[in-house]
Amino acid sequence: MTTTRWWVVSDAPASGREQMATDEALLDLARESHDVWLRFYRFSPPALSVGRGQSLSGIYRPGVAEIGADLVRRPSGGSAVLHDDELTYALAAPLGVVPGDVTESYRQIAEALLIALKKLGVAAELAGPEAAPAGRGRAANCFVAPSAFELTIGGKKAVGSAQVRRRGGLLQHGALARTLDFERWSACFSAPGPARLGWQTQMEARATGLFQHWPKATRPSDLAIEQAVVAGFSERFAVELKPVSLPVETRETARAALSVPDRFAI
């Protein structure tokens, strides 16, 4: 019987296309190795990632360019996320390691993240099952309202998650937003004017960064966040996660995907 191993990868900042290509290759790796891979990274430059099946009708392209962000199509579902002041995680696993359907796996992964946030001193909670199902009838902006079992602070959405299942594997993305710049976010969804102000007001009322109101000097480092998340997964799933570099073959698979000009681009 094959024993599933859990690995953790801390990766360098890179463009949206590079990060999405790497995550897609990570999903292939998880299926082939029968192991679980947890990868942390940042986007450089910032990027607005659009869900796999999301319409572009709600995206304001000139606004994305205005704030100096890339526009990228991610392999997972859900609505658009501005990856700016955040640490991103990607979890790739063979189906069955995190059992249940999409909603149930969301719950289990969110429980691991909840443990992590409590270790960091963040008073987060899980949205209940009555929250909107992921990807159904949602606004263009992922952070307008939580889905079932997503993480909230004071009732406001604080972590964005999206998942895809393909050929026996699961890939979940998560945006661990340190702070949210509501002006920059709203620029991605509307031209300047009342509508943009409406997006900004709506986000301020419904979303928050994990450390939005913490003094800058007290906010944890990326390394501290990574360590807390690793501890959360270790505790929730009763496993040991070992640090490792991503295999050279997986990097090559990602580079090959990027050789296709329109891959992940919009």
Q: Structure tokens of 9?
A: 């990868």
Burial of 130 (0-12, 13-18, 19+ CB in 10 A): exposed
**Strand bridging mode 47-50 / 70-73:** parallel
Q: Are 92 and 30 in contact (CB under 8 A)?
A: yes
φ and ψ at residue 30, rounded to 5 degrees? -65, -40
Enter the DSSP assignment of 17: H
Q: Is 142 a catalytic residue?
A: yes
In the set 116, 142, 175, 177, the catalytic residue is 142
Q: How far apart are CA 50 and CA 126, in angstroms?
A: 24
Total residue count of the chain as it appears in this document = 266
Which residue in this structure is represented by tokens 């509501």? 182
- Residues classed as catalytic: 142
